Amino acid sequence: MIPDPAPNTITRPYRGLSVQEVDIPLTPRAIDDLLRPREIYRRTAFLVLRSGDDTALVGVRPVSLGPLFSPVAELRVLSGPDTTVWLDDPATDVGNASALAAAARSGHQDGALAYVVRGRFEHVNFIWRPEPLRVRVTEVVPPYPPKLLSMAEQAVAFDEDLPPVELVLDAVDIRALAADHPAPAFLLPCRGSGAELDGEVRFLDTHPSYRDDWLLIGCERSRAFHEQFYGSEPDRVDLCPKARAGAGPVLTKCCLLERGVEYAGRSATVPWGANLDEVRAALRAICGLPAMAAAS
């Protein structure tokens, strides 16, 4: 018997889903009577049937994968009109599970099992009981949006092997740290943050003239630079994202890591200057996938 799909199931690739307009009531008996005499394409695993505004999702199995078309060996109505939601969302990449889950979230209906989305290029796919994995992205702000979050969004958007992922920003806010630790002057690692603080702001990467009353808002690497430049330990507030990452699933960064990805359980740390391949590998590991997509 064809089982219920696992949560987050989508058709991969979505050519395995056939969409058909029919003129029958979408009851199990009527669907069985319609499909039993038919042949199906050998790669078809699911059928979406549309009858007026009603939609049903059917699981199918061909008799043989040899010929191009094959009689139906087995079929099962997985979700009828009461539990199947049809969504038109032209911006959605229906080959991407996270995009499908986001569309389903926007069109959520209580009791729904299957969300069928007609998206970009008029292509159609479904997602079954979407349960996105929430991945916390711990990163320094400003700037906003932070770079690591933007890169993670890029990786999620193009890696079609990933399950649905919901990225949640956990912001290490320089402005909040400065407000909690007032000082006459602040020393920040570099100009990249663009932070405007209440007090004089200088940037360590410009090697400014020494002040004994500034507060360094920086990580261990910044502390080491300060010691190298000025021969002293500054008053410091740590902003290292990795230091506050906590339990996974978490994606974060650390400037002490120069290349590659560091893993600890379901947490992954990339370098401060990570490239997109490193961010993608980190997300795949967090989701329990191999680092590189397998050829198909």
- Residue 90: Cβ-neighbour burial (10 angstroms; 0-12, 13-18, 19+): exposed
- Among all chains, which residue has been given the structure tokens 């499908």? 100
Handedness of CA 145, 151, 156, 157 (dihedral sign): positive
**At 55, is the pLDDT very low, low, confident or very high (cuts 50, 70, 90)?**
very high
How many helices (H) and strands (E) the chain has is answered by 6, 17
- Indicate if the pLDDT at residue 256 is higher than 70: yes
- Indicate if the pLDDT at residue 293 is higher than 60: no
Instruction: Choose among 35, 37, 57: nearest CA to 46.
Output: 57
Structure confidence at residue 192 (pLDDT): 67
Name beta bridge partners: 139. Answer: 171
Sequence-distant (≥ 6) Cβ neighbours of residue 54 within 8 angstroms: 26, 81
Show me where the domains of the chain are located: 14-128, 133-173+241-286, 183-237
Name beta bridge partners: 291. Answer: none
Q: Would you call 247 helix, strand, or coil by DSSP? A: coil
- Indicate if the pLDDT at residue 295 is higher than 50: no
Structure confidence at residue 65 (pLDDT): 83
Token output for 20? 């058909």
> Average pLDDT for residues 201-226, to the nearest whole number?
94
**What is the rounded distance in angstroms from the CA atom of residue 125 to the CA atom of residue 12?**
9
- The pTM for the full model equals 0.88
The model's pLDDT over 66-119, given as tens digits with 9 standing for 90+, comes to 889 999 999 999 999 999 999 999 999 999 999 999 999 999 999 999 999 999
- Indicate if the pLDDT at residue 296 is higher than 60: no
Token output for 169? 């920003």
- Among all chains, which residue has been given the structure tokens 């010691």? 227
Judged by average pLDDT, the poorest of 108-112, 158-162, 192-196 is 192-196
Beta-strand (E) ranges in the chain?
A: 17-21, 39-41, 46-51, 54-62, 69-79, 84-88, 114-118, 124-128, 133-141, 165-173, 185-188, 200-203, 214-217, 235-237, 250-254, 262-264, 267-271
Cis peptide before 249 (omega within 30 of 0): yes
Structure confidence at residue 193 (pLDDT): 62
Token output for 232? 């002293």
